[in-house]
Amino acid sequence: MNALDFAWIDDIAEDSLRSRLDLGIYVQPKDRDETSEDDRQIAVVKRLKNCHGVAFHAVPNGGRQSDWARLRGERMGVIRGQPDLGIDWTGGAAVIEMKNGTEMPRPDQVDRLNRLHRMGKNVAVCRTVDGAVAWLRSLGAPVGEQR
């Protein structure tokens, strides 16, 4: 699979985000699986933990917070809309925003994803382990190698 296999998916046009998300951002198609976004992200992290040559980190931006916690986080550098996962490997890096089977990125996430993409970052909206792994492989990440 190559990067061209991860062009825009036509089924997101109904969300009116197609004109807002940059065309080079991979968006995995929606699905009917009722697995939550958190559980999907946990599954991706579990898979990445078994990959030799890949380092990753989660960005805990989500969830409800008190005003105090939100303001403190902003002072500490928390950025609204920052993608959920950052993945690095020798010679490459990527960020992934995880979503469940039906949701699309919020406006603040769209803004952040576009900004990162325009800075030359590899950016994706993924829903499944297989989708995330296939996209990362298309970028040259060694996600097929097991520890």
For residues 99-108, give the mean pLDDT.
Answer: 95
pTM: 0.82
Question: Which pLDDT band, with edges at 50, 70 and 90, does 77 fall under?
Answer: confident
Q: Which residue did the predictor score with more confidence, 7 or 145?
A: 145
Please compute the mean of the pLDDT values over residues 88-99 and round it to a whole number.
97
**Domains of the chain: which residue ranges?**
3-138
Cα(first)–Cα(last) distance of the chain, in Å?
Answer: 23
Domain 3-138 class in CATH:
alpha beta
Higher pLDDT, 18 or 43: 43
Cα 108 to its chain centre, rounded Å, is 14
- pLDDT average, residue stretch 110-120: 96
- Asked if the model's pLDDT at residue 22 lies above 70, the reply is yes
Angle made by CA atoms 53, 144, 114, in degrees to the nearest 5: 75
